[in-house]
Amino acid sequence: MPSPTTTTWKYLAPNPKSAYKQLFVQGGRIRARVLYGWYAGPDPLPPAEIAKEFGLPLEAVLEAIAYCESNPPELLEDYAREEALMEASGMNDPSYAHHPSPKAIDERNCPR
């Protein structure tokens, strides 16, 4: 599958207002990865049902699936950034679920 930098997506685009680098469905705040999670998650739904659930064209859902299955580097960067923030804030600590008190994060050390 072609890389996202060489593919022209009809329904997907970056969201300049988001910290996420992955692509979003144009004109909204739905990340392609969210749609893919409904397709490839533990209780998968067919693309047509996902499209209906989100009020999107079927082609937008199929494009999001193709994008995520192409393993775009920005998706991996988003995962790494989220994991680093969770680690830095203490959310990965096993006791966090019982005593949720996030640590303050020094912005100078935040992943970008």
- pLDDT reported for residue 59: 98
Rounded Cα distance between 68 and 34, Å, is: 10
Residues contacting 35, CB < 8 A, separation 6+ = 25, 50, 54, 56, 60, 61, 64, 65
pLDDT in tens, the chain (112 residues): 444 455 789 999 999 999 999 999 998 899 999 999 999 999 999 999 999 999 999 999 999 999 999 999 999 998 888 888 777 777 777 776 766 776 666 666 555 5
Tell how far CA 86 is from the center of its chain: 15
The model carries a pTM of 0.73
